[in-house]
A = this chain, B = another copy of it.
Amino acid sequence: MTAPRAEIARAEVMCRERGVRLTDQRRRVLEILCAAGRPVGAYEIMDAMREGPRVVAPPTVYRALEFLLEQGLIHKIESLHAFVGCDHPEHPHSSEFLICLECGDVAELKDDAVERSLASVTRESGFLPRRRVVEVMGICARCARKEECARKEEADRVRGLVD
């Protein structure tokens, strides 16, 4: 929830270099996504924008999202119908996510092993990839540890009762 100054500044520069306009609406959406640091749905973004001066309608949000996606500044997470700011938008890349079912945390993979293995599989079959969606739902390391502790405590408690 830190102010996403750095991300915005970076985006400004990238857009200027490319000759595209990071307008108020687009910047606002990017700010909301970066500040959240988690997947946010389009309608939630819309609500967040309402807090400002004016009311916005769905197309406004979706248009801003479309632009940010094109520029590689954000990613869409298909399995959540939600969007996240990109960690490292400097170079265009396909995104891969680890999504925690417990705490909702989302981590963007930077490793390209998956990308390479996908590339080799598709090349073999003559398929020309354009966009990749790789999303793994599961339990993140932190939640796994927490659950492990809880299990232990429970076991201890039961042992205590039996004694």
Contacts and interface: CB of A to CB of B under 8 A. Distances in A.
Interface of A: 78-79, 98, 100-101, 107, 109, 111, 113-114, 116-118, 120-122, 125-141, 144
Instruction: Specify the main secondary structure of chain A where it touches its partner.
Output: mixed
A113 B115 CA distance: 11
A113 B124 CA distance: 12
Given A117-B113, A117-B114, A130 B122 contact: no
Question: How many protomers of this protein does the assembly include?
Answer: 2
A53 to B, nearest CB: 34
A124 to B, nearest CB: 8
Contacts of A120: 113
A107 B127 CA distance: 10
B140 A127 contact: yes
A129 B121 CA distance: 22
B125 A98 contact: yes
A78 B98 CA distance: 16
A137 B128 contact: no
A114 to B, nearest CB: 5
